[in-house]
Structure 1
Amino acid sequence: MKAVLTAALLTATALPALAFDPANMTEAETEAFGAAVREYLMANPEVLVESIAVLEERRAVDDAKNDRLLVENNHEAIFEDGYSWVGGNPEGDITLVEFIDYRCGVCKSVYPTLEKLIREDGNIRFVLKEFPILTQESDMASRFAVAVQQEAGPDAYKKAHDALMESRGPVNLESLGKLAGTLGVDSKAVLNRMNTEEVSTVIRQNHQLAERMRIMGTPTFIIEGEMLRGVPPDGLEGVIRKVREAKQG
């Protein structure tokens, strides 16, 4: 295609092939060249579409390489931070990490499918990263979830997480107090803990990690060395399958 375009441009500008040097063209030759390019692209718009597609493909490949490097450089903070909730199969053959915001519509919509995938697969280690970025309610919800974990342990945290993901109502001290009672945890202790430095440290460290990873939206997934900025059109199953195949050599 490139050869055809070059030949067409040389013909249109009446320049001998051996003499074609854009840097040394006269003003008249430059104008003729520009006119020839425009004429060719107007007559063959598919060339421009093809070029854009190739450029986007190359950019996607470069972005994926950069993301894998970011994962490698932040491996411990992503997979073994010591404070994030770990579920699914803790001994699973692959680890799936999700950065979440409880007011994120996409996070809520993918939640049932994700839960089903982890349950039915049975061999996925699942890590949740509290990453409130959308609203003040996002921050309150994440602080509540972290406070529940610190006060009552991982099982209570998962129940809080599930309830917050399934909730469509407002997030405030009243609703969170009622939720704490439903979960069977000490409502006063959890609400008092929400604004402590222990909880703030978790949220802050997750934000700092996200900044290093150039994560600016939720949900963001990390599956072993691959980072997915959003939900793939075909879901996570295909990515997980490819990751497993790659690990098996």
Structure 2
Amino acid sequence: MIRFAAPALTALALLAGPAQALDLTQMSDAERTAFRAEVRSYLMDNPEVILESVQLLEQRQASAEAKADFDMVADNADAIFNDGFSWVGGNPDGDITLVEFMDYRCGYCRKAVPEVQQLLEQDGNIRFIVKEFPILGEASLISSRFAVATKQVAGDDAYEQAHTALLDLQGDLSDVVLRRLAEGLGLDADAILAQMDSDEVTDELSKTRDLAQKLRISGTPTFVLQDELLRGYLPVDQMSAIVTEKRAAE
């Protein structure tokens, strides 16, 4: 007996007609044995059926997962696109919105920076939102606390500068390093460092973490492009193609 017999039977049942057309529970032992022999013989003569059935099942699973992602985005749209605290860049009045859940210590997040920037510059009509989602350890959390504190103390322009600097920063983080970073950007280092451990910063990060859990996001970067979840790094040409599809569908 081949190992694929059980999965193949399941797949063949999915491809068959109505369930009442074949009731295995009403077969005698002899009929069931004969039926199994026929199925085995058919699969041995047509092994490609197994691959075809598995591919069909995978397609159905992928479709179900994609629908679940669309539903999650729709159910959490306000928190994703209008939370009132996440930094908004690109074209704030753009007809397409791209949201990125990111971590400063994520290599693929850093790799995505020039790709996203190229997309925003080439298109010119994309609203871009950054969600601080530190999941890679203490250094990630410190970086996000510094970035959020900078935004709360000094505003959006200062946040954008700090965000870019943190993505370029190498090595360990310390108060000395963060102070130099803030001072290098012409910011009030004392105020920002004092704000880092505030309830306001903690609350903002907690809300984003809760949102990520609702969206079943466990890795970075994860993007929300209009109504669709895109899990993982994507090069600019793929993102641009999806943007074109979204506009054509409107």
TM-score bracket for the superposition, by shorter chain length: 0.7 to 0.9
Match of 2:242 in 1: 239
Aligned in 2, Cα 1:150/1:23: closer, same or farther, shift over 3 Å? Answer: same
Aligned in 2, Cα 1:28/1:96: closer, same or farther, shift over 3 Å? Answer: same
Match of 2:75 in 1: 73
How far the C-alpha of 1:29 sits from its partner, in A, is: 4.0
Query: Which runs of 5 or more residues in structure 2 are unaligned?
Result: 1-7, 13-20
Give distance in 2, aligned partners of 1:111 and 1:35. Answer: 58
Match of 1:12 in 2: none
Match of 2:186 in 1: 184
Provide the secondary structure at the position in 2 that maps to 1:236. helix
Residue 88 (structure 2) aligned to one of 80, 86, 89: 86
How high is the TM-score relative to the length of structure 2? 0.84
Q: Write the letter of the residue equivalent to 1:238.
A: A
Give distance in 2, aligned partners of 1:20 and 1:78. Answer: 48
Give distance in 2, aligned partners of 1:110 and 1:30. Answer: 57
How far the C-alpha of 1:51 sits from its partner, in A, is: 1.6
> Where do residues 153-232 of structure 1 align in structure 2 (5 Å cutoff)?
153-232=155-234
Aligned in 2, Cα 1:47/1:94: closer, same or farther, shift over 3 Å? Answer: same
How high is the TM-score relative to the length of structure 1? 0.85
Give distance in 2, aligned partners of 1:178 and 1:45. Answer: 66
Provide the secondary structure at the position in 1 that maps to 2:93. coil
Show CA shifts across 1:139-172 (max 9, x none). 1111110011111111111111111222332333
Q: Write the letter of the residue equivalent to 1:206.
A: T
Give distance in 1, aligned partners of 2:152 and 2:38. Answer: 69
How far the C-alpha of 1:25 sits from its partner, in A, is: 2.7
Alpha-carbon contact 2:103-2:221 (below 8 Å) kept? yes
How far the C-alpha of 1:237 sits from its partner, in A, is: 1.1
Q: Would you say 1:133 and 2:107 are equivalent positions? A: no
Alpha-carbon contact 2:112-2:234 (below 8 Å) kept? no
Aligned in 2, Cα 1:173/1:32: closer, same or farther, shift over 3 Å? Answer: farther
Aligned in 2, Cα 1:95/1:31: closer, same or farther, shift over 3 Å? Answer: same
Alpha-carbon contact 2:110-2:167 (below 8 Å) kept? yes
Sequence identity of aligned pairs in percent?
50
RMSD: 2.3
Q: Write the letter of the residue equivalent to 1:177.
A: R
Alpha-carbon contact 1:137-1:172 (below 8 Å) kept? no
Q: Write the letter of the residue equivalent to 1:186.
A: D
Aligned in 2, Cα 1:197/1:51: closer, same or farther, shift over 3 Å? Answer: same
> Where do residues 57-68 of structure 1 align in structure 2 (5 Å cutoff)?
57-68=59-70
- More divergent stretch after superposition (66-75 vs 194-203): 66-75
Give distance in 2, aligned partners of 1:108 and 1:33. Answer: 58
Aligned residues: 232
Alpha-carbon contact 2:154-2:187 (below 8 Å) kept? yes
Give distance in 2, aligned partners of 1:167 and 1:39. Answer: 63
